[in-house]
Amino acid sequence: VSYLMAAIIGLLVAVAVMQILQRDAIRVVVGLYILWNATNLLIISVASVWGPGAPILEETEGGAMADPLVQAFVLTAIVITFGFAALLVAITSWLSSSGDSIDILDFQEDHDR
Amino acid sequence: MIDLAHALPVIEVLREHLLILPIMLLLVGAVCAALLPGRAAGILVTVVVGVTLAINFWILQLALDGGPLVYFVGGWAPPQGIVLVADRLSALLALVAMLLALASSIYTLTSQKLLDHTYFHVLFLFLLMSLVGVFFTGDLFNLYVFMEMVILSSVILVAMADRPVSAEVTFKYTILSALGSTALLFGIGLIYGAMGTLNMAEIALHIQEGPVPVLIPFGAAMLLMVFLLKAGVVPFHFWLPDAHSAAPAAVSAMLSGMLVKVGVYGVLRMSTLLFPETPALAVVAWLGAASALFGGLAALANGDLKRLLAYSTIANVGLIMIAISWGGQWGLMAAIAHMVNHALFKGGLFLAGGYLAERYHEHSLRSLTGFASLSPGVAIVFGIGAVALAGLPPTGGFVSKLLLIQAGWLDGGLLLPVAILASGLSIAYSIRLFIKLWWGTRSDWAVALTPHLPRQRLVSVPAALLVTAVLVLGILPSLLTTVAGAAASELLQPEIYIHAVLGGSP
């Protein structure tokens, strides 16, 4: 299971990096979102090292259970990244309404005078 | 203070919950500010920041007298519970952050545009709350959460300048910050996987006892990268001049004065508490040297007032990184002293310079020459700030440059000439600023425009507050060296921090 998980996370990171390197601003945002999900998967897979059982004492007494702390971390991280993604989409929309392009190559290279 | 505590039981209760107090106060203040109209909200922000400043002063005093303050959130002891820790370094940085914030919030009162912005005050207080949180948190995951909050609030504050380039700059800043925070989460995940804990004291203890798990160097490298990105060290610097120069003046002062210090704080914590004597310090040293030289040269070549100041932030952070890599009592003392000084004078310079740029809608040094006679109050404050930036007496900048050279002399390595060269560059670009603004020929358009601009009173007061603080630190250097020295010696004994958090005798 953990090899499969590692392969999936690796694949997601690869896709995310490819998207982030695109010229289109919205693709960059999507790429970041995929990267965030890959990170969350990584943390979850770190947790399942202990065992597959639900972390409830009465139900999995004696059996190996997953680390409950990590579930809380990932929930927090998901909420934060969701908020972040919303902000990024808003900024991208501002970008397209303030200029005429969301192509990164149209950005001014340098604002130095 | 002790007599007072016996007389008033309230003080005892406050003292018991002292560490959560600044965070709660700023959070409640932010919510209240959302309900008030412009000017009232601005005054509320100033009052809240002032009260928090006083509390942070108290915290620093307690931390200096009796070792790190520890607060168990909700009463749960570590390793299960969340813990807030204020050692001398965190308390000092939180105090400086509040001093800078006080100046910025007074400055905001003079700017009608920011006062009218509905969410400015809310986000400003959120930013301060998360800054204090970053400095006080005792575990890595809360560090991540607070850093995300720093990013989210600062991104929107940068966007508020509403200049033509704002959208692009905000996009760049957000994407890079988001990548950074992803790397931070990744690194924290790896460290948790290896250690099974996020409490910094406990991680430090495990690493001391060894053996170090395989995943730790990877996680640590991720963390280091994020902190260097936040600090704006070369090669992670490219977002910094854009974001810092595009933001409104009050926000630029916070960004350049304090936000980069979040990264520096992270590097300091990692190099002293989590991974003492790590070989990665050599990387920090040479990247610091590269940013000191690059930042200095770029500042010297730049013709834009706020960008020049932003590049000099890169140079100064580079110097601080060099001092951290020297380590030892003198190196850390120099790093901490320069962090404090840089925060104060760069905040003052950004408030004064940003005011001019916003008043005349002009950022170019060529057009802003000779403004000294147009607004002498601002010019005097700016001049003193430039002297501190150059690292000349009688300012605090001189004291910390002296400490830096002393630390480099004791280290005896190749980095001392680099640091001296970078200091020379800082003198060069400060003199250039000074000459342009004081002795340049006045632009006709500025002279013609000035009578038509609304007179703004009190604009130089906030910057003067910060610059005076730098002057006081220069005239009474023992004030700074005592506190910085005490903080450095505490950092060099990580067992103090560990025992304060986890209990047991030191």
- pLDDT per residue as tens, chain B (506 positions): 555 656 677 778 888 888 999 999 999 999 999 898 888 888 999 999 999 999 999 999 999 998 898 998 888 887 778 899 999 999 999 999 999 999 999 998 887 777 788 789 999 999 999 999 999 998 899 999 999 999 999 999 998 877 777 888 888 899 999 999 999 999 998 898 888 888 899 899 888 887 888 888 899 999 999 999 999 998 888 889 888 888 888 899 999 999 999 999 999 999 998 888 788 888 999 999 999 999 999 999 888 888 899 999 999 999 999 999 998 899 999 999 999 999 999 999 999 888 888 877 777 777 777 777 777 888 888 889 999 999 888 888 999 999 999 999 998 888 899 999 999 999 999 988 888 877 777 777 777 777 777 667 778 889 999 999 999 999 999 989 999 999 999 999 988 998 888 875 44
Contact A112 B167 (CB under 8 A): no
Helices (H), B111-165: 112-116, 120-136, 140-159
In this prediction, residue B373 carries a pLDDT of 75
Contact A80 B192 (CB under 8 A): no
Contact B189 A99 (CB under 8 A): no
Nearest CA in chain B to A105: B168
CB pairs under 8 A between A and B: 83
DSSP B171-197: HHHHHHHHHHHHHHHHHHHHHHHHHS-
Q: What are residue B139's DSSP bridge partners? A: B199
Nearest CA in chain A to B364: A113
Contact B171 A91 (CB under 8 A): yes
How large is the ipTM?
0.89
List chain A residues with CB under 8 Å of B174.
87-88, 91
Residue position matching structure tokens 């002296």: B402
Contact A77 B302 (CB under 8 A): no
In this prediction, residue B118 carries a pLDDT of 76
Amino acid sitting at position B313: T
List chain A residues with CB under 8 Å of B171.
25, 91-92, 95
In this prediction, residue A70 carries a pLDDT of 83
C-alpha B257, offset from chain centre: 5
HEC states along B292-328? HHHHHHHHHHCCEHHHHHHHHHHHHHHHHHHHHHHCH
Q: What are residue B304's DSSP bridge partners? A: B364
Contact B167 A73 (CB under 8 A): no
DSSP 3-state of B85 = strand
In this prediction, residue B504 carries a pLDDT of 57
In this prediction, residue A113 carries a pLDDT of 42
CA-wise closest residue to B487 among B135, B144, B200, B20: B135
CA-wise closest residue to B392 among B381, B383, B401: B401
Measured distance CA(A33)–CA(B382) in Å, rounded:
43
Q: How many CB atoms lie within 10 A of CB B157?
A: 25
CB A2 within 8 A of CB B148: no
Say if A65 is an interface residue toward chain B (CB within 8 Å).
no
CB B98 within 8 A of CB B88: no
Contact B172 A95 (CB under 8 A): no
List chain B residues with CB under 8 Å of A36.
182, 185
B503 torsion bin: left (phi>0), alpha (psi -120 to 50), beta (else): left
* Sign of the C-alpha dihedral computed for residues B343, B84, B484 and B25 taken in this order: positive
Nearest to A35 among B144, B166, B182 (CB): B182
List chain B residues with CB under 8 Å of A25.
171
Measured distance CA(B445)–CA(B48) in Å, rounded:
41
Contact B141 A20 (CB under 8 A): no
Calculate how close chain B gets to A80, using CA atoms only, in Å: 8
Nearest to B307 among A36, A88, A112 (CB): A112
List chain B residues with CB under 8 Å of A75.
none
Nearest to A32 among B144, B165, B178 (CB): B178
Measured distance CA(B185)–CA(B242) in Å, rounded:
25
Within 8 A by CB and 6+ apart from B302, the residues are A112, B308, B311
In this prediction, residue B2 carries a pLDDT of 54
In this prediction, residue B208 carries a pLDDT of 87
Calculate how close chain A gets to B171, using CA atoms only, in Å: 6
Q: Which helix (H) or strand (E) holds B10?
A: helix B9-16
Calculate how close chain A gets to B82, using CA atoms only, in Å: 12
Helix axes B460-475, B376-390, angle to 10 degrees: 40
Q: What are residue A24's DSSP bridge partners? A: A103
CA-wise closest residue to B495 among B192, B143, B207, B81: B207
CB B108 within 8 A of CB B45: yes
Could you say which residues of chain A have pLDDT below 70?
Answer: 1, 47-52, 59-63, 99-100, 108-113
Measured distance CA(B304)–CA(A19) in Å, rounded:
34
Does the model's pTM come out above 0.95? no
Contact B364 A113 (CB under 8 A): yes
CA-wise closest residue to B212 among B278, B139, B280, B137: B278
Measured distance CA(B111)–CA(B121) in Å, rounded:
12
Contact A83 B302 (CB under 8 A): no
Within 8 A by CB and 6+ apart from B246, the residues are B158, B161, B163, B165, B166, B169, B170
DSSP B321-354: HHHHHH-HHHHHHHHHHHHHHHHHHHHHHHHHHH
DSSP B142-155: HHHHHHHHHHHHHH
Contact A87 B302 (CB under 8 A): no
Amino acid sitting at position B227: F
Measured distance CA(B147)–CA(B343) in Å, rounded:
19
List chain B residues with CB under 8 Å of A44.
none
Amino acid sitting at position A62: G
Instruction: Say which DSSP state B407 is in.
Output: H
Contact B175 A88 (CB under 8 A): yes
Q: Which of residues 7-26 of A touch B (CB under 8 A)?
A: 20, 25
Calculate how close chain B gets to A90, using CA atoms only, in Å: 10
CA-wise closest residue to B150 among B167, B129, B127: B127
Contact B145 A76 (CB under 8 A): yes
